[in-house]
Amino acid sequence: MTPEQARLLLSDRGREAVALASSLDLSPAARIRAAEAVRPLGDVGPLALEQALLRVRARAKHPRGDVLWWTPEALEQASSHEVASSRADRFDRPVLDLGCSVGGDLLTLPAGSTGVDLDEARLLLAQENARVLGRRVSLVRADVRTLTVPLHADVFADPARRSGGRRTFDPRAYSPPLDLLLGLPVRSLGVKVAPGIDHEALPASLEVEVVSLRGDVKEAVLWGGAARRGARRTATLLPGPHVLVDDDAPVPRVAPPGAWLMEPDGAVVRAHLVAQVARDVDGWLLDATIAYVAADAPVAVPWGRWYRVLEVLPFSLKGLKERLRAHDAGPLVVKKRGTAVEPEVLRRQLKLTGSREVTVVLTRSAGRQVALVVEPTPSA
Ligand SMILES: C[S@@+](CC[C@H](N)C(=O)[O-])C[C@H]1O[C@@H](n2cnc3c(N)ncnc32)[C@H](O)[C@@H]1O
């Protein structure tokens, strides 16, 4: 979006057009009719319709997403409000948000925080979003690569992870670049990064926090200085928050499956904290490299979902088919770790016609492929 388009949207004419577009039937089936309805509005019509559609989607990210202002890319990049708010608790003073976009993070940070961005249109929308949410922030248009960041500032950054329309996994290609952000001489630092970032390649002075929301891994945040809480690796499960940190948990023992199996939350796995969970539930692993935790009883912890183990079979198509038929299996839920089996291919091969939804876990135990027929408990 250009700054001119942002100004047009935020003008009286733009606001009226967005109000009108928002009152239309925006379901996919009615999309052509909606486009017809905004055509008489001229240049602002398509922008208003786009904004109305973005606001519908934005409710999934922000409870007030339907009254905030977005660009398509800014909405896609915006942090979920629940995640941003939880993270903002680490800061106790105004923060410099380097690459603030339309304010997904900035508008959860302490009052008096400052957002910096190169993109003028996003800054105009951020200003308006601050007004809508009643947040006191300053906004500055600048290139972070040449900005002089005050010594001992508190800094947050959520660098863009796309280049040329593609998602980038190389932190050097982040914009602004990760190296630059990690080199800032600040009092406290938080940098949002891809959850799959290579921990080993990061300085040991940083805490790596992996965050999930309702079981979906959202991101990792690198914390340094006063914002670091002490641990080297943290898994934060939202809502809650439920926070698991690395400590000197013993290496879990490896043994055959027990009566219960836990699939740890993705944040726990990505933060390499499965040993902590195994200790907490008095459990063990089926394989030293695979993140399923076995136990005799389902200890109530928030770190994952428990499955009651009904049967353990060596993996073979014929054996599995026979046993699943005995369970009257129809729809098959497949969980897998440490096996190349493709669930879709397996379902086709099994040709199950029963009436019950059955869950199988495909994994390795003692170096052999196994299939566990399990019964899920409600998610934690
Ligand atoms: C991933 S978005 C930030 C999203 C934001 N945290 C949110 O939740 O809404 C990254 C932002 O960094 C800005 N940006 C990228 N490179 C920059 C640079 N060198 N200087 C200033 N801003 C930059 C982009 O314009 C974009 O708005």
Beta carbon of 105 within 6 Å of any ligand 1 atom = yes
Q: What is the residue-averaged pLDDT of the chain?
A: 95
Q: How far is the CA of 99 from the centre of ligand 1 (A)?
A: 3
At residue 200, the pLDDT reads 86
pLDDT at res. 34? 95
pLDDT score of 66 more than 90: yes
Is the pLDDT score of 167 beyond 80?
no
Per-residue pLDDT averaged across 210-234, rounded?
A: 96
Q: What is the pLDDT of residue 366?
A: 84
pLDDT of residue 209: 97
Please name the amino acid found at residue 86: S
Going by CA atoms, what residue is nearest to atom 23 of ligand 1? 99
Shortest-distance atom of ligand 1 to CA 103: 9
**Which ligand 1 atom lies nearest to the CA of residue 161?**
1
- Determine the pLDDT at residue 201: 87
Please give the full DSSP string across 161-214, using - where no structure is assigned. -EETTEE---GGGSBS-HHHHHT---SEEEEEE-TT--GGGS-TTSEEEEEEET
Q: Which of 197-206, 334-343, 350-359 is predicted least confidently?
A: 197-206
Per the document, the length of the chain is 380
- 79 Cβ closer than 6 Å to some ligand 1 atom: yes
Q: For the segment 22-42, what is each residue's pLDDT rounded down to a tens digit?
A: 999 999 999 999 999 999 999
With 90 as the cut, is the pLDDT of residue 379 above it? no
Q: Would the pLDDT of 123 be above 90?
A: yes
Confirm or reject: Cβ of 115 under 6 Å from ligand 1. Answer: no
* 295-320 tens-digit pLDDT: 999 999 999 999 999 999 999 999 99
Segment 100-110 mean pLDDT: 98
Question: What mean pLDDT comes out for the span 73-81?
Answer: 97
Given a cut of 70, is residue 166 above it in pLDDT?
Answer: no
The encoded tokens of residue 298 equal 């389902």
Residue of 82, 83, 101 to mutate, ligand 1, most atoms within 8 A of C-beta: 101
pLDDT at 171: 80
Mean pLDDT to the nearest integer, 267-279: 97
Q: Could you tell me whether strands 166-167 and 162-163 are parallel, antiparallel, or unpaired per DSSP bridges? A: antiparallel
N-terminal to C-terminal alpha carbon distance within the chain: 41
Q: How far is the CA of 74 from the centre of ligand 1 (A)?
A: 9
In single-letter form, the type of residue at position 284 comes to W
pLDDT reading at 239 higher than 70: yes
Q: Closest Cα partner for 292 from 302, 279, 278, 313?
A: 278
Tell me how far apart the alpha carbons of residues 168 and 145 are, in angstroms, rounded to a whole number: 19
Task: Kindly give the distance from the C-alpha atom of residue 156 to the centroid of ligand 1, in angstroms, as a whole number.
Answer: 11
- The pLDDT value recorded for residue 91 is 97
Residue 380 clears pLDDT 60, i.e. is over it: no
Percentage with pLDDT > 70 across the chain: 97
Q: One-letter amino acid identity for 356?
A: R
User: How much is the pLDDT for 164?
Assistant: 60
Mean pLDDT calculated for residue range 142-152: 94
- Averaged over 83-96, what is the pLDDT? 97
* Largest interatomic CA distance in the chain: 70
Rounded percentage of the chain residues whose pLDDT exceeds 90: 93
Tokens at 64, concatenated: 């007030």
The pTM (predicted TM-score) of the whole model is 0.93
**d(C-alpha 98, C-alpha 70), whole Å:** 18
Q: Average pLDDT of 48-54?
A: 98
Residue 117 Cβ inside 6 Å of ligand 1? The answer reads yes
Label residue 344 exposed, middle or buried (CB < 10 Å: 0-12, 13-18, 19+): exposed
Q: What is the average per-residue pLDDT within 256-260? A: 97
pLDDT above 80: residue 161: yes
For residue 77, the ligand 1 atom closest to its alpha carbon is 1
Q: How far is the CA of 116 from the centre of ligand 1 (A)?
A: 8
